[in-house]
Amino acid sequence: MTEPKGNTPLMAPSSLKLPDYKTSVKLKYVKLGYHYLMTHGMFLFLSPLVIIIAAQLSTFSLHDLYNIWDNLQYNLISVVICSSLLVFVSSIYFLTRPRPVYLVDFSCYKPDEARRCTMKTFMNQSQLTGAFTEENLAFQRKILERSGLGDHTYLPEAVLNMPPNPSMKEARKEAEAVMFGAIDELLAKTSVKPKDIGVLVVNCSLFNPTPSLSAMVINHYKLRGNIDSYNLGGMGCSAGLLSIDLAKKLLQVHPNSYALVVSMENITLNWYFGNDRAKLVSNCLFRMGGAAVLLSNKFSERRRSKYQLVHTVRTHKGADDKCFACVTQEEDFNGKIGVTLSKELMAVAGDALKTNITTLGPLVLPTSEQLLFFATLVGRKLLKMKIKPYIPDFKLAFEHFCIHAGGRAVLDEIEKNLHLSDWHMEPSRMTLYRFGNTSSSSLWYELAYTEAKGRVKRGDRVWQIAFGSGFKCNSAVWKALRTVKPAKEKNPWMAEIDRFPVDVPKVAAI
């Protein structure tokens, strides 16, 4: 037992004076109080008025009501005109308002265990191909160790074979396994017949065969002849949300329809076997995966649907040359094709994100956050005050965040800029660790993780945000229509969800 120091007071300072409320009161609760006050301000303002009107109506007698009716009889023409106008305006509103779009369900493809690629397997395969110099093998090892990927990601058979045998046949084989695997599970979960699907949107950035991927789906499932079919290519990792936006617009003009959206990337023909380091990063990050999503505008589907689509916001920075060229598919000095990732990528992504959330903010942020942002803007721009720009708290607008698992650096920057917690970033980080960057389908693996954890409750709002070549940043906002119960779910996380989250080291030595 140690002796107390001579300068240690016998009584705690707190017992000698009043507490310092500036430090004892947690300011976050003050901010929450302000947020709720502003959010429900209109209700609080109107409540006294409603009470006064109700009190006045309670004094009416039957004689008073008879007098009102008697007066209306002498103004029958006015009553008829006003009633007709009310009916006309109401009809116009209901006929022209956008049809609600529901997400009935979705599924994510989980490859066979034979497609598993550990980090050690990746390095061994890269070395055995003989395509890479020792310096670039060391470079790939360094990138992989810091990538945030784990030992359970997947690559297609043609890449894992020794020697690798990429071909059009193998690429079609991978595409069929991913697309049909995801769609089969989706149709089984929803019990929707293929002939009932009226809209089909398939997106895959780098693999665009003839006949198209959408035609492969139509042929395999014998979809109807008048289906609206679209095949999106070359649009990068954000194409999944582009497809959702396109399907939403098509459902506005096709009543009582189902829309099937399939998002994937094809690795087989796009594995880089050269020594340009700007193209080798893609090998270290991209992995096999895909997702299928069933949307509907049928009101009868609302009861069993998981989510309703609230907003889609698309940002395209392609008019800027630096943004346009930051992700490019091209040949290297030996004529081998790969995808070049520019050093400007992070700066470009940050600029696109800023533009996107500036557009999205007014649609989703509570009044409290918009007022604080506006007040700060006025102070900085008009009053020339030296204050930091206010970053809105998007945690007040969304309960769940699905941020494209493009790489650890991207996730780190978004976490820092949006002031998100580890809990909010967990679905994205665990998806990157477990499945790697599956391009446009990664957002659905993240939402599946959130569901498997039992986090989605009725009324919760989900923000999906993705980046893509061009350069694009796209957002989708969903509202949960019901509580998702993990016990009734079938998704690629269910058999192992209890293992997550796991600690992902900054450097995972191979």
pLDDT of residue 477: 97
Using an 8 Å Cβ cutoff, are 257 and 251 in contact? yes
Which pair of structure tokens corresponds to residue 26? 């947690």
Question: 63 in the Ramachandran plot: left (φ > 0), alpha (ψ -120 to 50) or beta?
Answer: alpha
Chain-centre distance for alpha carbon 249: 18
Using an 8 Å Cβ cutoff, are 343 and 325 in contact? no
Measured CA to CA, the distance from residue 400 to residue 424 in angstroms comes to 6
Q: Tell me which DSSP letter residue 162 carries.
A: S
pLDDT of residue 374: 76
Which pair of structure tokens corresponds to residue 12? 């705690």
Listed residue (182, 174, 173) closest to 221, CA to CA: 182
User: Would you please indicate which residues are annotated as catalytic (active-site) residues?
Assistant: 237, 316, 400, 404, 437
- Sorted by sequence, the CB contacts under 8 Å of residue 378 that are 6+ apart come out as none
Which pair of structure tokens corresponds to residue 51? 């009470």
pLDDT tens digits for 92-138? 766 666 789 999 999 999 999 999 999 999 999 999 999 999 999 99
Residue type, 333: F
pLDDT of residue 72: 64
The b-or-e profile of 126-162 (16+ CB within 10 A means b, else e) is: beeeebbeeebbebbbebbbbbbbbeebbbbbbbbee
The total of other beta-carbon atoms located within 10 Å of residue 42's CB is: 10
Using an 8 Å Cβ cutoff, are 397 and 366 in contact? yes
Helix (H/G/I), strand (E/B), else coil: 260: strand
pLDDT of residue 2: 42
Q: Strands 461-468 and 400-403, how do they pair?
A: parallel
Measured CA to CA, the distance from residue 430 to residue 449 in angstroms comes to 8
Listed residue (460, 362, 366) closest to 41, CA to CA: 366
pLDDT of residue 10: 37
pLDDT of residue 74: 63
Residues of the chain short of pLDDT 70, as ranges, are: 1-46, 57, 65, 68-76, 79, 93-97, 389
pLDDT of residue 3: 41
The total of other beta-carbon atoms located within 10 Å of residue 253's CB is: 11
Integer angstrom CA distances of residue 91 from 51, 80, 95, 97: 31, 16, 6, 10
Residue type, 380: R
- Any bridge partners for residue 417, and if so which? none
